[in-house]
Amino acid sequence: MKLNLKRPLAFFDLETTGVNVASDRIVEISILKAMPDGTEQIKTMRINPGIPIPLESSLIHGIYDEDVSREPTFKQAGEELARFLDDCDLAGYNSNKFDIPVLMEEFLRAGIDFDIDNRHFVDVQNIFHQMEQRTLRAAYQFYCGKVIENAHSAEADIKATYEVLLAQIGRYENQEWEDKKGIVSKPVQNNIEALHKFTNLNKPVDFAARMIYNDDGVELINFGKHKGRSVEDVFQAEPSYYNWMQNGDFPLYTKRCLEQIWKRWNAKKEALRIEKQNAVKPEQTTQQQPKKVEDPKPVDNDMLQQLKMKFGK
């Protein structure tokens, strides 16, 4: 099966120093770019994370400090990766919760502008978990009838992920699915926009899902004491909450999204203040108008005669 693409779809997988989106770093990235004409391009790079790789992580992906000591840092390799991903939609396995947030943190940390606002994101794991509830190894076995060779290698995993998505579309295309609200649809289509919607059901504002959209498109806090409240309502009730999050251990992309909402909220407050200040006061119709002063009359003979009689001269 060939994917129905309007622009390239970049499948990518990361090997990292750990699983903390805000603080862990990439040690290997592999990208399979599926082109609209059916061709494919693969780029695999090892990255010097600039921090020690914990042994427990190395035991999983097989990459040790000495393996990346002479590799470029992300700051050095980031521009090349950004160009390779230019005009691509993004796909992966658990990519919405981990790979894309980690990649965005690296771009932000390196000061590289990587715009994701107009891209679609297809998380193959979300399709799988919502339809079958399995792991990547089981998904590959279930959908493709194969066993992953060299598992936990970024390139092997991303090739398997690509094959799994093709098999998922072949299996579920036009199959009905009922969501938690009882709405029946056919969400798995050979269409990247449809897959984007199906694999982003929680509508996160930021990839870490510290904030989510409600059905009306309003941003809500999704953790802690304010969970379920709109972000703007929290700003109104507790303005210091913004500074607390900006200074806290939150991902950089979460902080960027929060800052955008903060600026928008402050702009609305300022506009309301100016509107009130410039409001036109009603005319005071009861105010007494000043009397008009008449112009003096010219002196004539009658007036002189009267003055003469009055003063006797």
Nearest Cα residue to 154 out of 309, 28, 260:
28
Question: What is the spatial distance between Cα 27 and Cα 47, in angstroms, rounded to a whole number?
Answer: 5
Contacts of 88 (CB under 8 A, 6+ apart): 7, 8, 9, 10, 33, 119
Concatenate the DSSP letters of all residues of 229-270 into one string.
SBHHHHHHH-THHHHHHHTSS--HHHHHHHHHHHHHHHHHHH
Nearest Cα residue to 85 out of 70, 71, 69, 99:
99
- 281 pLDDT higher than 70: no
Q: Are 53 and 18 in contact (CB under 8 A)?
A: no
Give SS3 for 184: strand
- Which residue is associated with the tokens 């780029």? 43
Percentage with pLDDT > 70 across the chain: 88
Residues 160-205 pLDDT 10s: 999 999 999 999 998 999 887 788 999 999 999 999 999 987 789 9
The dotted CATH code for 9-129 is 3.30.420.10
Question: What is the spatial distance between Cα 4 and Cα 35, in angstroms, rounded to a whole number?
Answer: 10
Number of H helices, E strands in the chain: 12, 9
Residues 113-138 pLDDT 10s: 999 988 999 999 999 888 876 788 88
pTM as predicted: 0.71
CB atoms within 10 A of CB 178: 9
Q: Are 92 and 11 in contact (CB under 8 A)?
A: yes
Predicted pLDDT of residue 205: 94
Binned at pLDDT 50, 70 and 90, residue 50 comes out as very high
Binned at pLDDT 50, 70 and 90, residue 285 comes out as very low
Question: What are the sequence ranges of the domains in the chain?
Answer: 9-129, 136-177+185-199, 211-275
Give SS3 for 286: coil
DSSP H or E segment with residue 196: helix 192-198
- 268 pLDDT higher than 50: yes
Predicted pLDDT of residue 309: 65
* Token pair for 149: 């060779």
Q: Helix 74-84 and helix 100-110: axis angle, to 10°?
A: 120
Predicted pLDDT of residue 212: 93
Contacts of 146 (CB under 8 A, 6+ apart): 140, 160, 163
